[in-house]
Structure 1
Amino acid sequence: MKLQMIGCSHHDAAVEFREKVAFSGDQVTAALAEFRRQFPSCELVLLSTCNRIELYTTAPDDTELDRDAVAQFLADQQRLTTDEVVDQMIYRSGTEAIEHLFAVASSLDSMVVGEAQILSQVKQAYDRACHVGSAGPLTHSVFQSANRTAKRVQQETSIHRRRVSVPSVAVGEVIPEFFDSLADKQVVVCGAGEMGEETLRYLQQAGAANITVLNRSYDRGAELAKQFGTKVDRWETLRDHIVTADVVVGTTSASEPIIELADFEPLHSRRNHRVLLILDLAIPRDFDPAIGDLSSVYLYAIDDLKAACERNQKQRQKEWPKAKQIIDEETKRFVQAFQHRSTGPVIRRLRDQALELKSDELQRLVGKLQLDQMDPVVAKEIEKSFDRLINKLLHPPLTSIRDDAAEGHTRGLLEAVRHLFNLGDE
Structure 2
Amino acid sequence: MAQAITLAADAPTLSAANTGFMLICSALVMLMTPGLAFFYGGMVRVKSTLNMLMMSFISLGIVTILWVLYGFSVAFGDDKGSLVGWNSDWVGLSDIGLTELWDGYTIPVFVFLVFQLMFAVLTPALISGALADRVKFTAWALFVALWVTVVYFPVAHWVWGSGGWAFELGVIDFAGGTAVHINAGAAALGVILVIGKRIGFKKDPMRPHSLPLVMLGAGLLWFGWLGFNAGSWLGNDDGVGALMFVNTQVATGAAVVGWLAYEKIRHGAFTTLGAASGAVSGLVAITPAGGAVSPLGAIAIGIIAGVLCAMAVGLKYKLGYDDSLDVVGVHLVGGIIGSLLVGFFATGKGQSDVAGLFYGGGLDQFWKQCAGVFGVLAYSFVASAVLALLIHKTMGMRVSEDEEVAGIDQAEHAETAYDFSGAGGGAARTPASSPAAPAESKKVDA
Q: TM-score, normalised by structure 2?
A: 0.22
> Larger % of helix: which?
2
More strand by share: 1
TM normalised by structure 1 equals 0.23
